[in-house]
Amino acid sequence: MNRISISEVTGKVQLLPPLPAAVQKLLHLTKDMEVNTEEVAQVVSTDEVLTGRILRVANSAAYGLSQKVSTISQAMVVLGLDGIRSLAIGVTLMNYQAGKGATPSLKREDLWHHAFAAASAAQLMASHFQYENWEEAFVGGMLHDIGKIVLAECFPKQYELALQQAAEGRLPLHMTENNIFGIHHAALGAEICRQWRMPDHLVQMVGQNQLSTQPDFPSNGHNRMCHAVRLGDGMAKLARIGLDGDPNIAADFLQIIEKEHLSLKQIRHLIRRLGEEMRKVEAFFMFEKTSVPNPEGEGMDSIGVWVADPRDHEVLEMALLAMGFQLASAAEMEGRQQPLAAVVHDDSLKTKLREVFAQQGVKLLDFGDWRKQHTSPEKFIQLNILKLDAWLLKNLKN
């Protein structure tokens, strides 16, 4: 299949229709810390479709109000300025058509479902770490895959090939995109945001979505927000909410977690919060409801992880938490302080413990063997989360 030229791809961006005037004004108004809320209400009220959707969510059961909300000014009290802005952008993007094409491997609804999960998780992360202007993370999360929409709808056959190559787990999606189009979705997304005259910090957040692989953690506020979006993207994948066409957990996702000293306890809390936020998002945008597992693990089996590589160990624990399993520590496994359903291990598991577990009927899942069959030569990839999930589910649910 012939490679598509960069000029042909960017030419499609030039032909995209602009964002609605109300959304453009809203984006620029709300970056002002002293914005006049009545002015925001007037801008939103000029768009009848947007006004109707915002009033619907303000009156939804999720907020449990006793009196009906009938104006945008009242809705702002319920939803907040950031909530109004996020919903406005969300409604616009959901209805946005870049082209008439479609790719079998990546449905539009699945991609937007993932984008909103990433946005919700990014905002939770930014708030948790007390990043400055953490509310911006939600908008960045919604926009971070906008380049994929253009590639999928304008060049469906070529993009399907890029998706298939990424699904094999040998290269991350942004590299297969580069090989075919000469540009990846994040760089293209930044061009789209510039075309839409979005604020510079949002352009940077979208454009750096695949480029946060530097070993030194930046102190710059906008770069930290880029990392919040990267974390949100990874958490949405782990929670298996929607699909984004790239099944790979990137190594830098784990680097950011390490730099921020994010503990399993905190991850469990964030996954629970993500489930709560997604129920609101799904109700508003009428997505098919996603079953976000209970990360507290109540009533679920206890699983042990005994894997030498610290990053593989970390991904395994996060994946199991997202599935709703309880986790047993190394001390609990050695002391056999609680019954175990299974142990995911590699060759580092002690022979004596292996024999004891076998006698107790504990399932032994040889991750080391699985890992050898699913190792990518690309240093940016830690592992393929979809293949890992399928392997875990097959062995743990039987």
Judge contact between 177 and 123, C-beta under 8 A. Answer: no
Identify any residues that bridge with 306 across adjacent strands, giving them in sequence order: 345
| Cβ atoms of residues 119 and 137 within 8 Å | yes
Tokens of 85: 């802005």
Beta carbons within 10 angstroms of residue 314's beta carbon? 21
List, in order, residues 6 or more apart from 204 with CB less than 8 Å away. 190, 222, 226
Domains and CATH numbers, the chain: 17-97 (no CATH), 102-290 (1.10.3210.10), 302-396 (3.40.50)
The residue whose two tokens read 């507290």 is 296
pLDDT digit string (tens) for the chain, length 398 residues: 567 888 888 888 888 888 778 787 877 776 665 677 788 888 888 888 788 888 887 887 666 677 888 888 888 888 887 778 777 888 778 777 766 777 888 888 889 889 999 999 998 998 888 877 777 888 889 899 999 989 998 999 999 999 998 887 678 898 899 999 999 999 999 999 898 888 888 888 888 766 544 545 455 555 778 888 989 999 999 888 889 998 888 878 888 888 888 888 888 888 888 888 888 777 767 666 665 555 555 546 789 999 999 889 998 999 998 888 888 888 888 876 567 889 999 999 999 999 989 888 899 999 999 998 887 766 667 788 888 999 998 988 76
Q: Can you give the pLDDT at residue 367?
A: 94
Closest alpha carbon to 271 in 244, 297, 289: 297
Amino acid of residue 293: P
HSE-up (13 A, CA, CB side) for residue 136:
27
Between CA 190 and CA 101 the distance in angstroms is 22
Strand 302-306 to 381-384 pairing: unpaired
**Angle between helix 156-167 and 146-154 (nearest 10):** 120
pLDDT of residue 34: 66
- For 81, the 3-state DSSP assignment is helix
* Closest CA relative to residue 229, chosen from 250, 251, 208: 208
Alpha-carbon gap, residue 90 to 58, rounded angstroms: 15
- Residue 359: burial class (beta carbons within 10 Å; 0-12, 13-18, 19+): exposed
Packing angle, helices 385-396 and 310-323, rounded to 10: 60
Q: Rounded to whole angstroms, how far apart are CA atoms 253 and 57?
A: 33
Amino acid 191: pLDDT: 92
User: Do residues 384 and 247 touch, judged by C-beta distance below 8 A?
Assistant: yes
What 3-state class would DSSP assign to 21?
Answer: helix
Query: Alpha helix (H) ranges present in 105-250?
Result: 108-128, 136-143, 146-154, 156-167, 173-181, 185-195, 200-207, 221-238
H helices then E strands: how many in the chain?
20, 6
Q: Buried (b) or exposed (e) across 121-137, using 16+ Cβ within 10 A?
A: bbbbbbbbbebeebbbb
Cβ-based neighbour number of residue 80 at 10 Å: 12
Residue 380 has a pLDDT of 67
